């Protein structure tokens, strides 16, 4: 009888300790895992075109390229991509806060165990102005896109992808 009481008390204490430590939450509500498989293209360069303006003069216009990020859901847990942000660093690793894109709402469904493509435009007009109209030789700039994903269990996961943004005068290294 004493052994049964000890087992019951031990089981109750074990259940309380487990539930208070968060272990049950991860067993009952596991966190999804997501992997960036490819960024296409991963090297971006703006293109300059000349168009005729209203007054007949030639006007130069820049076309800023976009990229597509492929994201895999590694577990069978569906999720939503809820936001993204972009930070930029020079080729020497120095942060460029003046062109950062703050946390921005985004809504894309990420099916369970599947892959989804996310269109992104990390080459912003502010970055273009920095690369083309300043004397700083910072090209290429690394654009780190940080995605916030919320799975159906309420867990938030951050995943990042990178690409390089080149000035129009800079050569793209292969």
DSSP string, 100-142: PEEEEEEEEEE-TT-EEEEEE--S-HHHHHHHHHSS----SEE
Chain mean pLDDT for the chain: 86
Determine how β-strand 43-45 pairs with β-strand 47-52: unpaired
**Farthest CA pair distance, the chain:** 100
pTM for the model: 0.78
Helices (H), 48-112: none
Percent of the chain with pLDDT strictly greater than 70: 89
What phi, psi does 21 have (nearest 5°)? -85, -10
Q: How confident is the model at residue 90 (pLDDT cuts 50, 70, 90)?
A: very high
Q: What is the Cα 4 distance to its own chain's centre?
A: 54
pLDDT of 51 reads 81
The answer, yes or no, to whether residue 126 has pLDDT greater than 50, is: yes
Tokens for 127? 């970055």
Task: Determine which of 51-55, 141-145, 157-161 has the lowest per-residue pLDDT on average.
Answer: 51-55
What pLDDT, on the 0 to 100 scale, is given for residue 164?
A: 94
What average pLDDT does range 140-163 have in this prediction? 94
Of the chain, the percentage scoring pLDDT greater than 90 comes to: 51
Residue 148 has pLDDT above 90, yes or no: yes
Mean pLDDT of 67-89: 94
What's the pLDDT band for 127 if we cut at 50, 70, 90?
Answer: very high
Q: Is the peptide bond preceding residue 57 cis, with omega within 30 degrees of 0?
A: no
Residue 25 has what pLDDT? 46
């Amino acid at each position: 009888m004493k052994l049964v009481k000890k087992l019951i008390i031990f089981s109750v204490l074990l259940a309380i300790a487990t539930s208070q430590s968060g272990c049950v939450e991860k067993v009952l509500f596991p966190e999804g895992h997501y992997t960036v498989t490819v960024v296409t293209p991963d090297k971006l360069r703006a293109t300059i075109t000349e168009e005729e303006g209203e007054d007949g003069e030639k006007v130069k216009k820049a076309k800023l390229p976009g990229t597509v990020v492929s994201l895999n859901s590694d577990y069978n847990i569906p999720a939503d991509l809820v936001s993204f942000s972009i930070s930029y660093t020079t080729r020497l690793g120095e942060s460029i806060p003046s062109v950062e894109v703050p946390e921005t709402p985004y809504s894309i469904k990420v099916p369970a165990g599947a892959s989804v493509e996310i269109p992104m435009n990390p080459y912003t007009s502010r970055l273009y102005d920095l690369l083309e109209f300043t004397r700083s030789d910072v090209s290429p700039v690394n654009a780190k896109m940080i995605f916030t994903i919320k799975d159906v269990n309420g867990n938030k996961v951050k995943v990042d992808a990178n690409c390089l943004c080149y000035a129009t005068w800079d050569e793209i290294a292969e």
